[in-house]
């Protein structure tokens, strides 16, 4: 199993799946979510309308349409509220549930953005530690996944993930 770090646009990755840091409606938004919806085209929004949203910490899968990948796994990260509202458990669940879906669909590669660290204000270092620890634990149980990519958008996260890995 390979874990890689890629700095750039997650919508350009040719993994079997990319993970969308979605909002609960799954109908698009800002940041990564908006970029994925724009790149995938209107068919993604149409399919997402049939999913009836997604709860925080859960994940749902769709086709990828005009994206380079095959699937989009949508997960809803927690909004940071000081750390006293199970944000850590909810963030762990985003990674666990996304990997479980990837395994269910027999995917071999997946790419994650920095879930909840944008407008949801999760502290970057804490989020990165949770992400790395959780995926390592989950990957030990995987039969199909061979490659996991942490796709970061800025120098700060790139440095952070390199140090932690």
pLDDT value for 73: 98
Distances (CA, A) of 39 to 44, 47, 112: 9, 15, 16
Alpha-carbon distance values, 147 to 1, 3, 18, 39 (Å): 6, 6, 12, 23
Q: Name which of 59, 29, 32 is nearest 45 in CA terms.
A: 29
The two beta strands, 147-152 and 109-112, are parallel
Contacts of 139 (CB under 8 A, 6+ apart): 1, 3, 99, 145, 148
What pLDDT, in 10s, does the model give residues 75-88? 999 999 999 999 99
The string of pLDDT tens digits covering residues 49-95 is 999 999 999 999 999 999 999 999 999 999 999 999 999 999 999 99
What CATH number is given to the structural domain containing 121? Answer: 3.40.220.10
Instruction: Look at the pTM and tell me if it is higher than 0.95.
Output: yes
Give how many domains the chain has, as a whole number: 1
- Residue span of the structural domain in which 36 resides: 2-164
Q: How confident is the model at residue 1 (pLDDT cuts 50, 70, 90)?
A: confident
């Amino acid at each position: 199993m390979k874990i890689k770090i890629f700095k750039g646009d997650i919508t350009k990755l040719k993994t079997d799946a990319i993970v969308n840091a979605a909002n609960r409606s799954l109908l698009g938004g800002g940041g990564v979510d908006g970029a994925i919806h724009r790149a995938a085209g209107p068919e993604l929004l149409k399919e997402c309308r049939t999913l009836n949203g997604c709860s925080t910490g859960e994940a749902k899968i769709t086709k990828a349409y005009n994206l380079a990948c095959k699937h989009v796994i949508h997960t809803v990260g927690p909004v940071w509220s000081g750390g006293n509202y199970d944000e850590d458990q909810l963030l762990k669940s985003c990674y666990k549930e996304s990997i479980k879906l990837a395994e269910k669909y027999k995917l071999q590669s997946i790419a994650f953005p920095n879930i909840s660290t944008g407008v949801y204000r999760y502290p970057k270092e804490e989020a990165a530690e949770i992400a790395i620890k959780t995926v390592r634990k989950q990957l030990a149980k995987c039969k199909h996944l061979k490659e996991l990519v942490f796709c970061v958008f800025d120098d700060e996260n790139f440095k952070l993930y390199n140090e932690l890995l």
